A and B are shown apart, each in its own frame.
Chain A
Amino acid sequence: MIKKISLLIILFIMLILFIQMQFDLKGYLNYFSHEYFLSHTYKDTASSNIVTGIYLDYRLFDSIFEASILLIVVSGIVYMTTKEGEENERVFIFEKVKISNLLTILSRVLYPFMLMFGVYIIIHGHLSPGGGFQGGAILATAVLITYYIDPDKITKFSLIIFLEKLLFISILIISSLSLLTKNVLFTNFIPNQTSNTYRSIFLILLNLLIGIKVSLGLVSIFSSFLKEGRS
């Protein structure tokens, strides 16, 4: 009881301090980045969407590690859920549960649209809101909707892991290609003089690879959960 009351008091003090600090902060806010990105991004990165420009060019190094986090967690989860010697034969079969016909038919109708929407979000990442990570999540949902359509569907698990690692390596290779053309690492490899339409090929390519990687990762996490829940 004492613990809870003291905790509430402490949190209340923190709240008051935060409100005070937030009012103070208003006088110090710095708008450097707003102006910089508005005037430079399109010229620098060929991306209309500034957010995409930031995470695929200015801060590409961060995004590589972000993709690697997903890869590590997927390998960790797969390691946790496999038993010894099971690794290679491991497949995931969705359990047959009673699914109403309505849901199945609706899923069949939705499936292509969801795939298409996911790919759209990924490919238009540099023009409109979206990008690899968001589109990848949508793609993963679309793949998982097959759970309702065809419960007997079998996918090889080791293949997904293999593909994911391969995609990560190709992301690394594509982003370091600029060492050959521009002599700097981790930026757009297409020279600055070419028109912006060509330069955005780099953005589309990376967004696509990241999107596929994210969706594969999410699918394998989800199916590990399915398997673990049943055992």
Chain B
Amino acid sequence: MEYIPLYLIFIPIISSMIIYLFNLRIINYLIFITQATISVLMIKYFLFINKNPQFASITIGGWDKRIGIELKNDVYSIAFIFLTIFIWTIVSIYCFDKRKNDAKFLFFLLFLEGAFLALLQTNDLFNLFVLIEIISIISTILIIFKKDGFAVRAGLYYLLFNSIGSIFYLLGMIIIYNIFGTLNIDVIKHHIHLIDNDLIIHAAFILMMSAIGVKSALFPVFTWLPKAHGAAPSSISALLSGLIVKSGLYVMIKVDHLFNLYTFKEYFFILGFFSAIIGILFALSQKDIKQILAYHTISQIGIILMGLSTINQITFYGGLYHIINHALFKSLLFLGAGMIIRTYNIRRVTEIRGVFKTMPLTSIFIIVGMLSITGAPFFNGFISKSLIVHGLKEQTFIYFLFFIINIGTATSFIKFSQIFFGKSKLKGQATINEKIALFILSIACITLGLHFNYFNQYLFHVESPVVILDLYNIMTYFITIIIGFILYQTIIKKDYLVFKKIRHMHITFETTNYLLVLYIFTMILWSFKAL
């Protein structure tokens, strides 16, 4: 029973090998058996852990904790594992029609799941590094799966930039190892307050955070994300935007708890705000349907970061909850966008017309996703955004900033919604599998919006004491939508020169790296405040 964490990791990996080795169509159905097995195992493990919390961590090989590798599950990792299995099941249902003969695709997909589940559970700094690298390599291969020039250049950009980022993580880990003589996160956390030298601790923290910033596409180093997510196949974009980007945030929560530094909380709050604003600005200027969604991922990550980097407990859980919600509605939107692109064969928002006529059911699902991302009442985005805002209500200025972000999101999605209107002679080509996948996701969005308290209690063991569905919040939402609509009609629709400039702005690879160095340097400057 206590080895279930390891089974969760290795069942997908072994079945991916079997699928690759046999290369038969019938064997490919193994992917669903795998998903069902690990779901059942995970539910069993969850019930088991709730009763016997002492089994939540195992050291592989039965060695001393300081020497071996430890797998550990806490409330965060269990929530993330459920989310991972859910999203992967949805994506495999969605892409199965297209990929049922493509054993290689399924091989990489399942292997990625195994590696991701390992990343969520490991409690060892170096193991974390290895898994981060595996995830970026498999993501690269999945991004370039179409083998056209557009995808290959995006894949190379993604691979090199992410690998450079993760070397900084390794550098930080080296410093930590030399001080503590161990790589186990728990042991380090226990001893870290004994080190009175701020320089060493801050250096290690800055190096690790720079890698995490690259991984989770924070403000100055986000340029890889729209390229990679725009070029990948739609099902993979959903996976990347929904989950793989969150691996950075997950590691960030871990590292943040490890160091427990209060110096940088404000810094990351400001960075989160900038990510949110810049992401929206770019999204407003784009016309490519997938690029818009990709830039929104950046802005949503900014919001999550704002939530995670506050001391307020409710805001923190709001950020955590927003990670889950964002995974749900962003994968819903990406999968829907994939269906639209396949039907229309164009990607420009200004040219796609009449989606509501051609694919009525799909459009309803996409509208659910849009309502969630803009934070409409009764949908899941509303809950987490309100939780984040709740902690900030006293600070009027920050509340105002948050309001600006919400208006931007609303404007951008009003722009997005122009695809539904108009006429079209095309026939929708949605298969039943794809519709099922979207249906499950939209149901999940609504359920998490209505019964969030239940989920919070069960997964995170916290009560949300706030009355969220009050008139004030609902009114705020409608005001946001109205301002967004006016903004769209008066400014965005005209497509001023500024937006054209932003749309055609291209940041080269060397400049991206320079921005990474600047990002590290600003953190160094910030840390002088504490010294």
Q: Contact at B199–A24, with CB atoms within 8 Å?
A: yes
Q: Contact at A25–B20, with CB atoms within 8 Å?
A: no
- Asked whether B264 is an interface residue with its Cβ less than 8 Å from the other chain, the reply is no
Chain B residues contacting A108 (CB-CB under 8 Å) are none
Q: Contact at B203–A21, with CB atoms within 8 Å?
A: yes
Given A58-B63, A60-B61, A72-B137, A30–B179 Cβ distance below 8 Å?
yes
Chain B residues contacting A184 (CB-CB under 8 Å) are 60-62
Chain B residues contacting A30 (CB-CB under 8 Å) are 178-181
Chain A residues contacting B517 (CB-CB under 8 Å) are 7, 10-11
Q: Contact at A165–B17, with CB atoms within 8 Å?
A: yes
Chain B residue nearest to A178 (CB atoms) is B61
Chain A residue nearest to B69 (CB atoms) is A61
Q: Contact at B524–A165, with CB atoms within 8 Å?
A: no
Q: Contact at B60–A60, with CB atoms within 8 Å?
A: yes
Least distance between A209 CB and chain B CB atoms (Å): 15
| B113-167 CB contacts (< 8 Å) to partner A | 115, 118, 126-127, 130-131, 133-134, 137-138, 140-141, 144, 147
Interface size of B as a range: 35 or more
* From B14, B61, B130, B181, contact of A186 by CB (8 A): B61
Q: Once bound together, how far apart are the Cα atoms of A36 and B137, in whole Å?
A: 35
* From B17, B131, B179, B518, contact of A169 by CB (8 A): B17
Q: Once bound together, how far apart are the Cα atoms of A76 and B140, in whole Å?
A: 9
| B1-43 CB contacts (< 8 Å) to partner A | 3, 6, 10, 13-14, 17, 20-21
Q: Once bound together, how far apart are the Cα atoms of A61 and B61, in whole Å?
A: 9
Q: Contact at A62–B199, with CB atoms within 8 Å?
A: no
Given A21-B203, A28-B200, A185-B3, A168–B17 Cβ distance below 8 Å?
yes
Given A28-B195, A30-B180, A185-B61, A165–B21 Cβ distance below 8 Å?
yes
Most A CB atoms within 10 A — which of B14, B140, B200? B200
Chain A residues contacting B14 (CB-CB under 8 Å) are 169, 172
Q: Once bound together, how far apart are the Cα atoms of A30 and B200, in whole Å?
A: 14
Q: Once bound together, how far apart are the Cα atoms of A59 and B184, in whole Å?
A: 12
* From B63, B68, B126, B181, contact of A31 by CB (8 A): B181
Chain B residue nearest to A4 (CB atoms) is B514
Q: Contact at A21–B200, with CB atoms within 8 Å?
A: yes
- Asked whether B402 is an interface residue with its Cβ less than 8 Å from the other chain, the reply is no
Interface string of B513-531 (1 = CB under 8 A from A): 0100110110010000000
Chain A residues contacting B20 (CB-CB under 8 Å) are 75, 165
- Asked whether A104 is an interface residue with its Cβ less than 8 Å from the other chain, the reply is no
Q: Contact at B60–A186, with CB atoms within 8 Å?
A: yes
Chain B residues contacting A72 (CB-CB under 8 Å) are 108, 111, 134, 137-138, 141
- Asked whether B197 is an interface residue with its Cβ less than 8 Å from the other chain, the reply is yes
Chain A residue nearest to B67 (CB atoms) is A58
| A178-219 CB contacts (< 8 Å) to partner B | 178-179, 182, 184-187
Least distance between A158 CB and chain B CB atoms (Å): 10
- Asked whether B265 is an interface residue with its Cβ less than 8 Å from the other chain, the reply is no
Q: Once bound together, how far apart are the Cα atoms of A32 and B141, in whole Å?
A: 40
Given A32-B66, A80-B144, A169-B17, A66–B203 Cβ distance below 8 Å?
no
- Asked whether A33 is an interface residue with its Cβ less than 8 Å from the other chain, the reply is yes
Least distance between A216 CB and chain B CB atoms (Å): 15
- Asked whether A48 is an interface residue with its Cβ less than 8 Å from the other chain, the reply is no
- Asked whether A134 is an interface residue with its Cβ less than 8 Å from the other chain, the reply is no
**A-side interface mostly:** helix
Least distance between A189 CB and chain B CB atoms (Å): 11
* From B3, B104, B514, B521, contact of A79 by CB (8 A): B104
Interface string of A5-49 (1 = CB under 8 A from B): 001001101100110110011001111110010000000100000
Q: Once bound together, how far apart are the Cα atoms of A99 and B108, in whole Å?
A: 40
Least distance between B272 CB and chain A CB atoms (Å): 24
* From B61, B130, B514, contact of A65 by CB (8 A): B130
Q: Contact at B61–A58, with CB atoms within 8 Å?
A: yes
- Asked whether B477 is an interface residue with its Cβ less than 8 Å from the other chain, the reply is no
Chain B residues contacting A172 (CB-CB under 8 Å) are 10, 13-14
- Asked whether B175 is an interface residue with its Cβ less than 8 Å from the other chain, the reply is yes
Q: Contact at A10–B67, with CB atoms within 8 Å?
A: no
Least distance between A78 CB and chain B CB atoms (Å): 9
Q: Once bound together, how far apart are the Cα atoms of A93 and B175, in whole Å?
A: 48
Chain A residues contacting B417 (CB-CB under 8 Å) are none
Q: Contact at A75–B104, with CB atoms within 8 Å?
A: yes
Chain A residues contacting B418 (CB-CB under 8 Å) are none
Q: Contact at B514–A3, with CB atoms within 8 Å?
A: yes
Least distance between B193 CB and chain A CB atoms (Å): 14
* From B68, B138, B179, contact of A29 by CB (8 A): B179
Q: Contact at B69–A59, with CB atoms within 8 Å?
A: yes
Q: Contact at B62–A62, with CB atoms within 8 Å?
A: no
- Asked whether A73 is an interface residue with its Cβ less than 8 Å from the other chain, the reply is yes
Q: Once bound together, how far apart are the Cα atoms of A60 and B67, in whole Å?
A: 12
Least distance between B71 CB and chain A CB atoms (Å): 9
Least distance between A220 CB and chain B CB atoms (Å): 14
Chain B residues contacting A17 (CB-CB under 8 Å) are 199, 203, 524
Given A24-B199, A172-B10, A58–B68 Cβ distance below 8 Å?
yes
Chain B residues contacting A18 (CB-CB under 8 Å) are 203
The 6 sampled A-B contact pairs (Cβ below 8 Å) are A11-B517, A33-B181, A59-B126, A59-B127, A72-B138, A184-B60
| Residues of A that sit less than 8 Å from B by CB | 3, 7, 10-11, 13-14, 17-18, 20-21, 24-25, 28-33, 36, 44, 57-62, 65-66, 68-69, 72-73, 75-76, 79-80, 162, 165-166, 168-169, 172, 178-179, 182, 184-187
Q: Knowing that A17-B199, A61-B60 touch, tell me 14 more A-B residue pairs with CB under 8 angstroms.
A: A17-B524, A18-B203, A25-B200, A32-B182, A58-B61, A62-B130, A66-B130, A69-B134, A72-B108, A75-B20, A79-B104, A186-B60, A187-B60, A187-B62
